[in-house]
């Protein structure tokens, strides 16, 4: 992989991680058109996602600090908190909304961790076939459109339960298949469950943090142990570029969702998936 290839792929990662079009699918497709890259691989994809998730941390910093601090405090007894603060109003219990959100993020992370470890070889190999990528782009794009049309869009983050958190988690796990989209899968599930667009998107971004950082760091360590698997310098450049671009995209998306639907992304997914199928059929691309 050349340096220019790394920059291009970093831009692609940053542009596509947060909108529901599947960044892994785009890295897989764009890689085929770069002379020095070909398929960047699952390791490259996972590591560069560290850049975009760092953008999530920066954008949602206050939310993350509040959720984490309340969650840790809720693990302590009410008596010890009261003894330390002397203020009954400052006592945080597990029923506290922010502490509850911390637990829900943990619960929602379990499916992707379990399925990611169980099907690692499948994810890094056969599921990256471009026929599968194109098909999932189209199928899950249509599913997102249906969810956006029929969803009630009335529930807020305060109405997430453990059961709904698990549904979000399994939807996120579907993103292990390139073409599904991490944000697309969780947002689709949220819309079907009646959550507002902004609530589904916000929870989707927060839910992704443990899984993406865990996967990215795991693959980074793996690449250090297996020299030659991925170019570390080029991957670092792509990760930094992805962070910068992703920060702008996430700010745009949260504003967009206040007044718009997902139909432009649905149309784009269907057109892209169809174009890949045509290219595969004509031999322009190899699966």
Question: For the chain, what is the domain count?
Answer: 1
Q: Which tokens sit at 202?
A: 């916000």
Helix extents (H) in 89-181? 97-118, 120-124, 130-150, 162-173
Question: Radius of gyration over alpha carbons of the chain, in Å?
Answer: 20
The conformation of residue 129, written as its DSSP 8-state character, comes to: -
The conformation of residue 57, written as its DSSP 8-state character, comes to: H
Residue that has been written with the tokens 């998936």 in this structure: 273
Cα(246)–Cα(60) distance, rounded to whole angstroms?
Answer: 13
Q: What is the pLDDT along the chain (287 residues), one digit of tens a residue?
A: 678 888 888 899 889 988 889 888 888 888 888 776 566 777 777 788 888 889 989 988 999 999 999 998 888 877 787 777 777 767 788 888 898 999 999 999 999 888 888 887 887 778 888 999 999 999 999 999 999 999 888 999 889 999 999 999 999 999 888 889 888 899 999 999 999 988 898 898 899 889 888 888 887 777 777 655 457 778 888 889 999 999 889 888 888 876 778 889 999 999 999 999 999 999 888 88
Q: Is 179 left (phi over 0), alpha (psi -120 to 50) or beta?
A: left
Q: Which tokens sit at 27?
A: 């890295």
Is 250 part of a structural domain of the chain?
yes
The conformation of residue 127, written as its DSSP 8-state character, comes to: G
State the residue range of the domain holding 99: 3-282
Nearest to 128 by CA among 66, 255, 42: 42
Is 233 part of a structural domain of the chain?
yes
Q: Which tokens sit at 24?
A: 């892994």
Is 287 part of a structural domain of the chain?
no
Supply the pTM of this predicted model.
0.84
Query: Do residues 201 and 183 lie in contact, with contact meaning Cβ atoms separated by under 8 Å?
Result: yes
């Amino acid at each position: 992989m050349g340096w220019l290839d790394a920059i291009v792929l970093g831009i692609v990662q940053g542009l596509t991680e947060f909108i529901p079009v599947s960044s892994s699918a785009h890295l897989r497709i764009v890689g085929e058109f770069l002379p020095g890259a070909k398929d960047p691989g699952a390791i490259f994809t996972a590591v560069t996602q560290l850049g975009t998730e760092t953008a999530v941390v920066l954008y949602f910093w206050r939310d993350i600090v509040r959720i984490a601090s309340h969650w840790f405090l809720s693990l302590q007894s009410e008596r010890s908190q009261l003894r330390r603060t002397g203020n009954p109003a400052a006592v945080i219990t597990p029923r506290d909304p922010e502490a509850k959100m911390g637990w829900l993020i943990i619960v929602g992370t379990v499916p992707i961790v379990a399925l990611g470890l169980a099907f690692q070889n499948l994810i890094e190999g056969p599921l990256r076939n471009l026929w599968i990528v194109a098909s999932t782009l189209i199928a899950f794009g249509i599913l997102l459109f249906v969810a956006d049309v029929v969803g009630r869009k009335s529930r807020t983050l305060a109405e997430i339960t453990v059961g709904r958190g698990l549904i979000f988690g399994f939807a996120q796990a579907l993103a292990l298949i390139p073409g599904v989209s991490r944000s697309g899968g969780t947002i689709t599930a949220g819309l079907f469950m009646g959550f507002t667009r902004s609530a589904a998107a916000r929870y989707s971004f927060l839910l992704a943090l443990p899984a993406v950082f865990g996967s990215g760091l795991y693959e980074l360590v793996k690449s250090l142990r297996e020299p030659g698997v991925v170019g570390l310098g080029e991957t670092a450049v792509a990760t930094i570029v992805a962070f910068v671009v992703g920060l702008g995209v996430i700010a745009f998306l949260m504003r967009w969702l206040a007044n718009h639907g997902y139909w432009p992304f649905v149309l784009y997914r269907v057109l892209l998936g169809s174009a890949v199928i045509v290219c595969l059929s004509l031999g322009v691309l190899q699966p």
